[in-house]
Amino acid sequence: MEPKMTIKEIAELAGVSKSTVSRYLNQGYVSAEKAEQVRRVIEETGYQTNFFAKRLKMKYSKLVGIVLPRMDSVAVGKLLTGIHRVFRTNGYQGLLMVSNLSIEKELENILSLQQQGVDGIIIDSVGITQQHIELQASLDVPTIFTGQRHPQVRYIKFDDYAAGRMMGSYLKETQHKHVVFVGVNESDTAVGIERKKGFMDAFLENNEGAKADFIEAGFDFFSAYNCAVRVLQFQPTAVVGATDNICLGLLRYFHEQKIRVPEECSVAGFGGYDVGAVVYPALTTVSFDYELVGMKTAQGMLTLIRGEAFSSDASLPLFFVERESVRRMGEAVAQKKPAKFIGM
């Protein structure tokens, strides 16, 4: 049988005042040190379970927790725009927590948001582990993952394998034979595994003499910039960045080294960021509508909060945007190539 604790007893065990415990439970301001003392006692005594059982009998908090991997990302900004567009019209607000690309911190943030009484949690995940699966099964609020998928969780995302195949097929069709794929660590299943595999499968399939090398970088501009010298050692005709941000780092290095793009080396990426249209040469890319992901995820969360059925989705539309940064081998490079959009 669960222990029946009072706020007074929690306060005494945590060494804080009753008002501090009350503010903590009602999402008021509490210093980090005192919040940790209260949190520890709540977990140890089982009061947390009793608190949320009471909360479920009350009106909704109208708050949804949002766990983000980082804030300095175009994709995250657009995702939040979509989420807040839906929440705003339905009287909901998002409560943000950032994991800084740490799986451990991501798990802590999920627990913390449930503790703060949110009605649901959206997780733009670094990578779904067994701990994520066990944790979300134990929560008494609904969760939706974005960016990653797993059969045991709810998710809304793009088909990264299909996106990779779009780019692989394009570079094969433009008659490139030697490509370097600059990707990320495989702890990120969507970008590090699915996107890369889709590209490799399509590019190498029935492409006699084709070769695709791989170099691992981080998601940030500077990581890509610093690995560009290794890319050039392979002497590829084209380089594919797992994200547009990686491409920007490569383009900067190529510019400094006076390597002409696409005459000497083509560059292409994934994301469809606005900056890709204004850099020179304009970047060929597979474009993702991150704002749409945010809207569909927010709508799905409201559906779950109402107790209605929800279906995971990894079939959101993809668009291939052909610009100036890729040349068709064996043909002269055009002076100006207007953007060409191909949907999927």
pLDDT tens, position by position, 159-188: 999 999 999 999 999 999 999 999 999 999
Angle at 167 between CA 192 and CA 320, to 5 degrees: 115
Which among 127, 171, 164 has a CA at the least distance from the CA of 149? Answer: 127
Residues of the chain with CATH 3.40.50.2300: 60-156+289-316, 160-283+323-343
Domain 1-58 sits in CATH at: 1.10.260
Fold of 60-156+289-316: Rossmann fold (3.40.50)
Strands 318-322, 340-343: parallel, antiparallel or unpaired by DSSP? antiparallel
* Ranges under pLDDT 50 in the chain: 1-3, 49-57, 335-336
Fold of 160-283+323-343: Rossmann fold (3.40.50)
State the pLDDT at residue 332.
64
Q: For residue 161, give both structure tokens.
A: 């394998």
Query: Are residues 42 and 73 in contact, defined by beta-carbon separation less than 8 angstroms?
Result: no
State the pLDDT at residue 342.
59
Residues of the chain with CATH 1.10.260: 1-58
State the pLDDT at residue 338.
53
